[in-house]
Structure 1
Amino acid sequence: MTGRQWGMRSRRPVGEITRGTTGHNRLRRSDRWITAVHGPLLRSADRPLIVDLGYGASHITTLELFHRLRRVSPYAEVVGIEIDPARVAAARPYETEGLSFRLGGFELPVDRPPLLVRAFNVLRQYGETEAWHYWDLLRSRLAPGGVIVEGTCSEVGHRAVWAGLDASGPRTLTLSARFDAFERPSDLADRLPKTLIHRNVPGEPIHAFLRDFDHAWAVSAPMASYGARQRWITAVEALAATWPVPRRPRLGGPSRWRLGEVTVSWDAVAPTGAR
């Protein structure tokens, strides 16, 4: 199949228009994680293609992603995809070598399979079954070894949660927050992926994880005298004793935890009986 044929599988954009809310540095937390965790993957390709799906009413977060990825992969090519023609038209004056904008949706109208897809704040308006369907569709479009980072963040990006997926399905769940943006870790529950947000009830693994994280945060309160960052690190260390939280880079360890992040294996928090 040629690149042109690959990109012509669907002529009509798949999906619905989102609110389009965006802003400077709204996705800085996920971008920082992407460059740290998936930098080696991007450097492994000569011209890695990255798709920013549903970038919103402004081009800014796609442009920021492009500049951040170019620091770790100088030949990375980024395509911003939006289902709203007016948003695409508004973004095109900002195109440059390696950065472009196209009309489309979950079908990903690009000329070759992407190595990485970032999709933020695009699945909240769908039901859980639909969200799983679009995860499957995106996974089917990946290049070999490719990954998806799909998540949700607050209006200014101070709270964010995202799932990391590959061709086999979801692999990780990451929570990230500014230390002044929450009182306890479970406050981030409103940013969980669609397949988890309604499962935060007793008997579900994600509820148990957040409950245990809150407990670890509470018993780590004495470390607050050294700052919220040290309290977070101590709480995550305690959490890692009973949950599959990576303790070493690139996914874990103090170098990630000090940023207000924690990643856990998806299998540990996956919905009971799902799929």
Structure 2
Amino acid sequence: MAAGRAPIGRITRGTTGTNRLRRIDRWISRHPALRRTDDPLIVDLGYGARGWTALELWSRLSRARPDVEVVGLEIDPARVDGAREELERVRAGQTAFSPDARVRFDRGGFEVPLAGDRRPVVIRAMNVLRQYDEADVAGAWQRMASRLQPGGILVEGTCDERGRVASWIAVDDSALPRTLTISLRLTDLDRPGVVAERLPKALIHRNVPGERIHDVLRALDEEWERAAGLAPFGPVQRWEGALRGLRARGVDLPDRSRWRLGEVTVPWEHIAPR
């Protein structure tokens, strides 16, 4: 970051749980943007009080792209110092992470400062915008997306503390939202609508009658109840039955490849705020 220039944004709560972002990481690892780029540089924006999430992100993505690099960015200089100390232990072979992990930590915010003005193919900003007003979201998306490679994506969303309920929006390099992904641990799931508590900031206050996201979540809960007869065959079968019912109601669900994982991706036009 340029000397004397303060990072853009606010310091987050810093909650960092081991494996909290596993669902998001695995989704990113399959995304065409990562697999096709000539420069697989990833930014973990607002990684929190510890550097675990950036190291876990590298570990998962390196299976798909062994040449992937991850830069963790935080506004709080104390968090950057702490993450760098953790990285020294990684390099010394004192952790479960590879000593050769291509990870580094720097100070930065929504401006996404990178050495040599490199541009990431993916910016992951999870649990960052929850503390902002809805009116701030578009501007934050614009700043971050402006730093992406052509064809890159911003992954912005929220999850619970254990990573069992998550949702995220894929925003393209023009700062336009393209999809919402809902990812749930199906074991012991009461109803899919529980994700309403963990919607991204752009949608969480829109879960009211008359809004598209409310209609989709209500329909998903109804289809989950309708698929209760499949429960004896397991939660995956019930979830897939509910999604088939949702699709029959006119909601476009083009990618079935991750349904069995408790995940569904919905095109933005089906849930965009009115």
- Assess if the C-alpha contact under 8 Å between 2:33 and 2:153 holds in 1: no
Structure 1 stretch 109-118 or stretch 10-19: which is displaced more? 10-19
1:197-233: CA deviations, max 9, x gaps? Answer: 1111110000000011011101000000101111001
How do residues 230-269 of structure 1 correspond to structure 2 at under 5 angstroms? 230-241=237-248, 242-246=250-254, 252-253=255-256, 255-269=257-271
Letter of the structure 2 residue corresponding to residue 160 of structure 1:
A
Equivalent residue for 2:58, pick from 50, 66, 88:
66
1:101-153: CA deviations, max 9, x gaps? Answer: 00111111113111110010000000011112101111111111110111100
**Residue in 2 aligned with 1:102?**
106
Answer yes or no: is 1:92 the counterpart of 2:92: no
**Residue in 2 aligned with 1:25?**
19
Mapped to 1, the partners of 2:143 and 2:121 lie a distance apart of: 15
Letter of the structure 1 residue corresponding to residue 26 of structure 2:
R
Change (3 A) 1:122 1:109: same
Q: TM-score normalized by structure 1?
A: 0.90
- Assess if the C-alpha contact under 8 Å between 1:49 and 1:116 holds in 2: yes
Q: How far is the alpha carbon of 1:43 from its aligned partner?
A: 3.2
Mapped to 1, the partners of 2:112 and 2:173 lie a distance apart of: 15
Q: How far is the alpha carbon of 1:9 from its aligned partner?
A: 10
Q: How far is the alpha carbon of 1:8 from its aligned partner?
A: 4.4
- Assess if the C-alpha contact under 8 Å between 1:92 and 1:100 holds in 2: yes
Mapped to 1, the partners of 2:147 and 2:213 lie a distance apart of: 28
How do residues 168-247 of structure 1 correspond to structure 2 at under 5 angstroms? 168=174, 169-180=176-187, 182-241=189-248, 242-246=250-254
**Residue in 1 aligned with 2:94?**
none
SS class of match (2:62): helix
- Assess if the C-alpha contact under 8 Å between 1:20 and 1:57 holds in 2: yes
SS class of match (1:240): helix
Mapped to 1, the partners of 2:41 and 2:48 lie a distance apart of: 20
Mapped to 2, the partners of 1:102 and 1:133 lie a distance apart of: 22
SS class of match (1:71): coil
How do residues 149-164 of structure 1 correspond to structure 2 at under 5 angstroms? 149-164=155-170
SS class of match (1:173): strand
Change (3 A) 1:109 1:10: farther
Mapped to 2, the partners of 1:8 and 1:245 lie a distance apart of: 44
Unaligned runs of 5+ in 1: 1-6, 247-251
Q: How far is the alpha carbon of 1:240 from its aligned partner?
A: 1.5
Letter of the structure 2 residue corresponding to residue 270 of structure 1:
A
1:158-214: CA deviations, max 9, x gaps? Answer: 100100110231000010111136311111101111111111111000000001101
Q: Report sequence identity in percent.
A: 55
Change (3 A) 1:71 1:136: same
**Residue in 2 aligned with 1:249?**
none
Mapped to 1, the partners of 2:110 and 2:34 lie a distance apart of: 22
- Assess if the C-alpha contact under 8 Å between 2:46 and 2:75 holds in 1: yes
**Residue in 1 aligned with 2:5?**
11
Answer yes or no: is 1:122 the counterpart of 2:128: yes
Letter of the structure 2 residue corresponding to residue 190 of structure 1:
E
Q: How far is the alpha carbon of 1:97 from its aligned partner?
A: 5.3
Aligned residue pairs total 258
Mapped to 1, the partners of 2:7 and 2:266 lie a distance apart of: 33
**Residue in 2 aligned with 1:145?**
151
SS class of match (2:7): coil
Mapped to 2, the partners of 1:11 and 1:115 lie a distance apart of: 24
Mapped to 2, the partners of 1:97 and 1:208 lie a distance apart of: 44
Unaligned runs of 5+ in 2: 89-99
Q: How far is the alpha carbon of 1:11 from its aligned partner?
A: 1.9
SS class of match (2:240): helix
**Residue in 2 aligned with 1:78?**
70
Query: Which segments of structure 1 move beyond 3 Å, counting only runs of 4 or more?
Result: 7-10
Q: How far is the alpha carbon of 1:82 from its aligned partner?
A: 0.6
- Assess if the C-alpha contact under 8 Å between 1:46 and 1:75 holds in 2: no
Q: How far is the alpha carbon of 1:98 from its aligned partner?
A: 2.1
